[in-house]
Structure 1
Amino acid sequence: MSQITPDHLARGAYVYVRQSTPDQLLHNPESRRRQYALAERARQLGWTEVVVIDDDLGRSGGGVSRPGFERLLLAICEGRVGAVLAVEASRLARNGRDWHTLLEFCALVDCLLIDEEGQYDARLANDRLVLGMKGTLSEMELSILRQRSLEALRQKAKRGELFLTVAVGYVKTRHDRIDLDPDLRVRSGHRSGTQ
């Protein structure tokens, strides 16, 4: 059952596109394609005005300024947004404070959240419960991934295998090995600097 009303369609549909790191931008173009394709989905749902916000590509949600997210919140507060589309609604915000701020603003101005799983009205208790759980699970997932990564780094350090940088004249190779740099000029620069 669609929750989209003529009032929602009279306002814009905003597609928020984000990938957290430059590495994701480089190596995961499929995620970006899926996110940009949401603009067409918004048109299929009946919106004529579709705005894509992709200012935050390559920006982490943790402690980093996200001008695109701020622009999205401003447009919601001004009543210009009938729905926000994302591949996964909980990916819109990467911490509890931002997530709950987004939900509150959407509830205040009757703005829907739409992802691949469904349409959510933050004014409705059941939808709010589902959105709350999605946000909590997303935050928990990030916390677990962060903990696992830190523990893996600690274990590598304990074994003496953690190399964040290597000295001039050397390069990191596969399987965390360190070899002489294949560039003779770099290697000779290293030797002359140590003499």
Structure 2
Amino acid sequence: MGIETIAPLKRCAIYTRKSTNQRLEHDVNSLVTQREISSAYITSQQYKGWVELPNRYDDGGHSGSGMDRPALSQLMQDIEAGEIDVVVVYKIDRLTRSLADFVRMIEIFDRRNIALVSISQAFDTSDSMGRMILNVLLTFSQFERELIAERVRDSIRTRKRHGKMHGGLPPFGYIATPDGLKIDEPEAEIVRFIFDEFLKTRRYTKVMTAVRERRYCSSVKYSPRGKPRGGTAISPSTVYAIVQNPMYVGEIRGHDTTYPGEHEPLISRDIWDEAQIICQERKKRRPHNRDTDHFLAGLLWDDLGRHMRLDLKWHWGKFYKTYVSSNAIWSQKLFLRQYRASADQLDEVV
């Protein structure tokens, strides 16, 4: 009399991913399609003891080039917790397009005895043949990603060489139109005022103070989807970026050079050149502890066992030198503050 062998249960998690947010709000989208196909495949493997887990691991609007994805992070946490036996994906590039990331994931899968199944490519990493096919497919997937990235970079360089801005929001003082960048007069007046004040005062903070006193705000603009933006007070970072942006003199910034742009400039070449001279004069070289005579650098430890480093900073035109405790992660969790001592005084004592 034969005895039936009952297959052990295999808890299966379905992972889905879509690179863009398009159509995610629809009832039927790419994530739903991937999940339904994967669920049907798990059902067909019930004779092996496969059981679909109710947890959803769906990453909508996330690229496959990295691992910083919420659903993928949750999946890896559940794997480490021993709650998953099989990971099912529609295609391997839904999991990752990076060979290095894939190797790291496979190491985790091997350590936890997790099987990876790709439905459309028909392989299972539980056997050697499946592993070989997987490595070949992933190599081509990474090649495709790098090829796409090269095409995008080439497209950006070409548009810049022809004086066109490539994507993104238009800079402050301009609006985007089908015919290119056009001047937004209310914002353009603010840009000219910022440059004039910078040439007079030669200080970013004084320019920001003058902008605040006049209560300048950015214009309200609308995205292609009709969402309003702007209408807020101008931030210090905006002032800093305006003074150093070659767009306002009619140029497009490239990787290591600038190109003549098709748009109309807001300021003259003389004003731009004078502003850049002031910017260069105001740049301070960040001090390095090797440029000092403080011999205790690297030798001090505080009473909590934290290494004390030499900290050099400029503040209000004065150079401060202190020994400060390293902000170790464990001390951050315990909310332990850093010790700080004057380097000159401590050297004299020693």
Q: TM-score, normalised on structure 2?
A: 0.43
2:120 is aligned to: 116
* Counterparts of 1:98 and 1:121, CA distance in 2: 16
Picking from 176, 179, 204, the partner of 1:171 is 176
Q: Measure how far apart 1:120 and its partner are.
A: 0.7
SS in 1 for 2:139: helix
Over 3 Å counting, the alpha-carbon distance change for 1:119 and 1:83 in structure 2 is farther
1:191 is aligned to: 185
**Aligned residue identity for 1:118:** A
% of aligned pairs identical? 21
SS in 2 for 1:133: helix
Q: For residues 68-112 of structure 1, give each alpha carbon's deviation from its aligned partner in whole angstroms, at most 9, with x where no partner exists.
A: 222222333444323211110232123223211222333341424
Name the Cα RMSD after superposition: 3.0
SS in 1 for 2:60: coil
More RCO (CA 8 Å, sep 6+): 1
Picking from 134, 139, 148, the partner of 2:142 is 139
SS in 2 for 1:15: strand
SS in 1 for 2:85: strand
* Counterparts of 1:49 and 1:64, CA distance in 2: 24
Which moved further from structure 2: 160-169 or 81-90?
160-169
1:67 is aligned to: 70
Q: Which runs of 5+ in 1 are unaligned?
A: 181-186
1:183 is aligned to: none
Number of residue equivalences: 175
Q: For residues 138-192 of structure 1, give each alpha carbon's deviation from its aligned partner in whole angstroms, at most 9, with x where no partner exists.
A: 111101100111101111111223343436563332xxx2376xxxxxx9xx334
1:36 is aligned to: 35
Q: Which runs of 5+ in 2 are unaligned?
A: 1-5, 190-350
**Aligned residue identity for 1:84:** V
1:6 is aligned to: 7
Which moved further from structure 2: 13-22 or 29-38?
29-38
**Aligned residue identity for 1:116:** S
User: 1:157 and 2:182 equivalent?
Assistant: no
Q: Is the 8 A contact 2:67 2:73 kept in 1?
A: no
Rg (Cα) greater in structure? 2
